[in-house]
């Protein structure tokens, strides 16, 4: 019997979650093949696009290679653009290929909705793809470049007025980035801050209406404190290349309108012949199947799921949960088991307003405002990234958000980060690494020669001698040793001195070999730093002559943290191997020793 063909159309949040879940439920089965189709090679973190548009992070900080996500899974990725689906024949068509399916998950996502407002589609910038974000970024930069040279005050005013249409999550986050970046650009181009005008327009009575009113008010107060004009109950009625008109008859002279006023399912969904709800969304049943075809599922922003008379909002959490549910139901159909009804459980929302201010409304927690909400948002982002790519993506996120970020609101922090993020060649650390290893190795060998690895006690109270060898014992407590450390020595180390002698000797030899051959250099550097801090605590640095050598060891060990073993060292091969093993284990809960080597 031929394998069942499962196709997922779209690699957004819902599509990726469906692919992961199907792999987990059907891995190693020969009766099912999973294919993910998307027009991009990468998965976009749509919730962070405002950071690219506002020059906080580079574009690489919001994309994850789909090949990375699907590596070591049974999901095949196809880079293609589907333009037609024949549900009767169970086929998808692109310009050059066709794909047959037994089960289909529609996860094609959404696009901005312009609601028929004249000029909106032609003249407004939108924020719903990486290309959109880059276009906004380049446009804002160009406005400042032109304004810096413009002498006509009316034209200059148009260039320096930035309007965001829509006060929902995306609009508020976009304005937060504009608020910070325009402050930086004003310094860069020598344009007075008072010439820059920031406006956010919302048709409803409050911004972020899905939030508790207290949080919405805090965001509005924060905007006004930083010079942002907030207009509510103000529908936009017309857009031209240099003006935004509102229902009252007033208008804003501007060359920049960023439209975030709403989304709808992709336009080509209209051609499917499926039952559609509001904004082109495909109506689904309780199992997320389309009403016409039980082998076709719709998830995420493209579906209209109604629960207790309420349509599920288009949120990331909705997409993730619907993707997992559709995948489980397809696996159940293939296995002949009972399907599960979709029961969404939304836990809350978080909104960032620039780099340092956020609000969060999470079920089971008090409302979070400011730094706690910002931390929570970062933690949630990292949790998601860990789920699709492991620790690597968390480290990448930390680098993009805190080390390699394009700009900050604080000039001092920006200067410090500028020094930290400079990439230097680790090749020049190799001689220092080998020399540090030799020093540790020689120290360990000398201890073996002195009997540290034998049965002679070498550690003990000052002035005492070993009964076996009559040799003086080395005291670990000096005049300046902290009392808490002296207690540890007297109660733990001295009673087990033979054990600790051998541990110290083994550790020093191990550090020497690790540095010389470049094996686990990062871990060795941390141990080296810890060993030297331990030695200084025991001898009491201010009262000894060994302070300078100890500090030299520490300084050299800190330099090794820069990845010194990745050049002319075993780490060049070992770290990629372990990284790939971690990827494989995360997706399969097993290891494969013959995978992961990169020569």
What's the full length of the chain, in residues?
599
Rounded CA-CA distance 456/451 in Å is: 6
Of 530, 513, 520, 505, nearest in space to 560 by CA:
520
Per-residue pLDDT of the chain (599 residues; tens, 9 = 90+): 789 999 999 999 999 999 999 999 998 888 999 999 999 999 999 999 999 999 999 999 999 999 999 998 999 999 999 999 999 999 999 999 999 999 999 999 899 999 999 999 999 999 999 999 999 999 999 999 999 999 999 999 999 999 999 999 999 999 999 999 999 999 999 999 999 999 999 999 999 999 999 999 999 999 999 999 999 999 999 999 999 999 999 999 999 999 999 899 988 888 889 999 998 999 999 999 999 999 999 999 999 999 988 999 999 999 999 999 999 999 999 999 999 999 999 999 999 999 989 999 999 889 999 999 999 999 999 999 999 998 889 989 998 888 766 565 555 555 555 544 444 567 788 899 999 999 999 988 988 888 777 665 555 455 444 444 444 445 667 677 778 877 887 888 778 877 888 888 899 999 999 999 999 999 999 999 998 888 777 765 533 344 445 678 889 999 999 888 888 889 888 888 888 888 888 788 777 766 544 43
Q: Are strands 251-253 and 306-307 parallel, antiparallel or unpaired?
A: unpaired
CA distances from 64 to 12, 384, 386 (A): 11, 12, 12
Q: Which CATH code fits 4-113+265-420?
A: 3.50.50.100
Residues of the chain with CATH 3.50.50.60: 120-261
Rounded CA-CA distance 564/521 in Å is: 7
CA distances from 55 to 178, 219, 294, 357, 524 (A): 9, 21, 45, 17, 37
CB 201 within 8 A of CB 161: no
Rounded CA-CA distance 181/133 in Å is: 14
CB 87 within 8 A of CB 273: yes
Residues of the chain with CATH 3.50.50.100: 4-113+265-420
Question: If DSSP codes are grouped into helix, strand and coil, which group holds residue 424?
Answer: coil
Q: Is 502 exposed, middle or buried (0-12, 13-18, 19+ CB in 10 A)?
A: middle
- The whole-number pLDDT of residue 429 equals 87
Listing DSSP states for 186-219 in one string gives HHHHT--GGG-EEEEE-SSSSSSTTS-HHHHHHH
Angle at 197 between CA 191 and CA 203, to 5 degrees: 160
Task: Compute the Cα dihedral for 90, 93, 98, 104 and give only its sign.
Answer: negative
Give the position of tokens 């540890």: 488
Tally the C-alpha atoms within 13 A of residue 515's C-alpha that lie toward its C-beta: 31
Task: Compute the Cα dihedral for 510, 515, 521, 522 and give only its sign.
Answer: positive
Of 566, 480, 481, nearest in space to 519 by CA:
566
Q: Which CATH code fits 120-261?
A: 3.50.50.60
């Amino acid at each position: 019997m031929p394998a069942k063909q499962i196709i997922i159309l779209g690699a957004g949040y819902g599509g990726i979650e469906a692919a992961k879940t199907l792999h987990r439920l059907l891995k190693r089965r020969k009766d099912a093949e999973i294919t993910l189709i998307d027009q991009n090679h990468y998965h976009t973190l749509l919730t962070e696009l405002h950071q690219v548009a506002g020059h906080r992070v580079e574009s690489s900080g919001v994309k994850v290679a789909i090949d990375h996500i699907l590596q070591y899974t049974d999901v095949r990725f196809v880079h293609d653009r589907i333009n037609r689906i024949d549900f009767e024949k169970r086929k998808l068509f692109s310009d050059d290929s066709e794909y047959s399916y037994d089960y289909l998950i529609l996860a094609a996502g959404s696009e901005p909705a312009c609601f028929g407002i004249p000029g909106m589609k032609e003249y407004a910038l939108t924020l719903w793809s990486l290309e959109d974000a880059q276009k906004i970024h380049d446009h804002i930069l160009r406005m400042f470049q032109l304004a810096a040279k413009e002498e006509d005050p009316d034209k200059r005013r148009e260039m320096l007025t930035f309007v965001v249409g829509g006060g929902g999550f995306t609009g508020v986050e976009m304005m937060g980035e504009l608020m910070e970046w325009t402050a930086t650009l004003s310094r860069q181009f020598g344009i007075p801050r008072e010439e820059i005008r920031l406006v956010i327009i919302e048709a409803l009575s409050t911004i972020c209406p899905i939030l508790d009113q207290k949080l919405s008010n805090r965001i509005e107060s924060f905007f006004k404190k930083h010079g942002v004009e907030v207009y509510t109950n103000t529908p936009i009625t017309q857009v031209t290349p240099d003006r935004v008109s509102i229902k009252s008859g007033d208008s804003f002279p501007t060359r920049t309108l960023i439209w975030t006023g709403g989304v709808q399912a992709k336009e080509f969904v209209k051609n499917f012949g499926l039952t559609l709800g509001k904004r082109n969304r495909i109506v689904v049943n309780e199992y997320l199947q389309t009403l016409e075809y039980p082998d076709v599922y719709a998830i995420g922003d493209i579906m209209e799921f109604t629960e207790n008379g309420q349509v599920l909002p288009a949120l990331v959490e909705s997409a993730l949960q619907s993707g997992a549910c559709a995948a489980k139901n397809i696996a159940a159909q293939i296995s002949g088991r009972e399907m599960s009804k979709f029961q969404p459980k939304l836990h809350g929302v978080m909104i960032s307003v620039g780099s340092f201010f956020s609000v969060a409304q999470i079920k089971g927690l008090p409302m979070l405002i400011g730094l706690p909400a910002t931390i929570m948002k970062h933690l949630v982002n990292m949790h998601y990234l860990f789920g699709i790519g492991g620790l690597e993506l968390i480290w990448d996120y930390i680098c993009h958000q805190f080390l390699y970020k394009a700009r900050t609101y604080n000039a001092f922090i920006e200067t410090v980060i500028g020094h930290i993020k400079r990439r230097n060649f680790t090749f020049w650390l190799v001689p220092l690494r080998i020399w540090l290893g030799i020093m540790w190795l020689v120290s360990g060998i000398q201890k073996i020669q002195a009997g540290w690895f034998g049965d002679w006690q070498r550690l003990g109270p000052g002035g005492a001698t070993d009964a076996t060898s009559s040799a003086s014992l080395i005291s670990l407590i000096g005049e300046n040793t902290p009392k808490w450390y002296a207690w540890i020595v007297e109660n733990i180390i001295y009673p087990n001195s033979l054990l600790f002698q051998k541990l110290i000797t083994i550790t020093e030899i191990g550090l020497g070999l690790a540095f010389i051959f470049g094996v686990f250099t990062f871990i060795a550097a941390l141990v080296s730093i810890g060993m030297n801090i331990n030695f200084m605590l025991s001898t009491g640095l201010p009262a000894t002559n060994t302070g300078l050598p100890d500090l030299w060891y520490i300084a050299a060990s800190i330099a090794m943290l820069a990845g010194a073993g990745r050049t002319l060292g075993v780490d060049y091969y070992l770290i990629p191997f372990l990284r790939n093993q971690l990827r494989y284990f995360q997706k399969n809960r097993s290891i494969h020793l013959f995978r992961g080597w990169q020569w």
